[in-house]
Copies of this chain bind each other. A is one copy, B any other.
């Protein structure tokens, strides 16, 4: 594969300000691979870190964001024999540091060196995928079967995150009742994961009818629009007073953690994937007296991206319904606007750094 010396990349030049510039193509180290980026998705974490930099984020003027991407292997580091040039791959963002106590025992998304020089998470503490090329450690790459296209592949890290969440809960759902709060990308994927792992019944709770309809079409057994029904009433009635075995909170809303706690049955488990960025009020007596527990999933840990590739590759889970828009790199600001303001019913919006023109609408679709 011919690799030029210079590439186009979206550089964060100031708070929430991206500029497409020419920068040098990075070179892979001994355990690294150079990827040609085919598709990179916009994520709400990008929005947050572009507005207010995260710990360890490279400074304005040098940082290229983007952590949900897929691409083609373009060059190999000296020791790499796990991949070949031309391989199509999905990524996980978090490498970790390979040397702290958390990384040593496999908890690399909770690296104790997060934000230091030793740590690496592409698109967060190292350059990411809103560029024509990006460098990844071999640990963070997973070969794609032909049945997965690059746009869908860019979302696989989302599925990896949800699967990791289910694994932190204990990971066995056959016959259980699962409630999902928030029909955003992670919530919609959670619905599919719960059904795929054998949930008896999945309740999807939200406010936007259009998104709830996407959930109904991709596996939710019971849609609860909180404008019309009380989720507690519905779940308790339909579980004969028991409550849900698992509640997956994906909205980040102020009232959502407490709703999640109440909906869970005694000994039930709550998974928080949505992040409420301001403090919320919690009645812990409900949690403690009914022996419930609260779990979290930072990133796509425990190699769940490998599981995600398998689930999508075999057709058990599809991420295609969530890919609603795509733009070339020069329209990245339009892409983020489309994503953030859900223009045209946007769920996930893709940037294609190596495609010049996607037509007059600026979109593949």
Contacts and interface: CB of A to CB of B under 8 A. Distances in A.
A139 interface: yes
A174 B310 contact: yes
Contact of A107 (B79, B267, B281): B267
B282 A275 contact: no
A293 B105 contact: no
Contacts of A294: 287, 293-294
Contact of A197 (B82, B139, B174, B279): B174
A117 B324 CA distance: 45
A284 B303 contact: no
B287 A297 contact: no
Contacts of A171: 170-172
Contact of A307 (B175, B283, B298, B303): B175
A277 to B, nearest CB: 6
A266 interface: yes
Nearest to A55: B289
Contacts of A79: 118
A257 interface: yes
Nearest to A298: B291
Interface residues of A, number: 76
A166 B175 CA distance: 14
A171 B173 CA distance: 9
A127 interface: no
Interface string A289-323: 11111111111011100111111001010000000
Contacts of A308: 175
Interface string A249-293: 000000001000000011100001101111111111101111111
Nearest to A242: B112
A213 interface: no
Nearest to A107: B267
A285 B275 contact: yes
A17 interface: no
B289 A275 contact: yes
Contacts of A303: 101, 104-105
B306 A296 contact: no
Contacts of A314: 198, 200
Nearest to A302: B105
Interface of A: 31, 79, 82, 98-99, 101-102, 104-112, 114, 118, 138-139, 163, 166-168, 170-172, 174-176, 196-198, 200, 242, 257, 265-267, 272-273, 275-285, 287-299, 301-303, 306-311, 314, 316
24 contacts: A31-B98, A82-B99, A102-B267, A104-B108, A106-B106, A110-B267, A111-B266, A112-B265, A168-B293, A170-B171, A174-B196, A175-B307, A175-B311, A197-B197, A198-B307, A198-B314, A198-B316, A200-B310, A275-B284, A280-B281, A282-B282, A290-B298, A291-B296, A293-B293
Given A99-B138, A272-B284, A272-B287, 16 more contacts: A98-B98, A98-B139, A101-B306, A105-B106, A105-B303, A107-B266, A109-B291, A110-B266, A172-B197, A174-B311, A175-B308, A175-B309, A275-B285, A287-B294, A291-B296, A293-B295
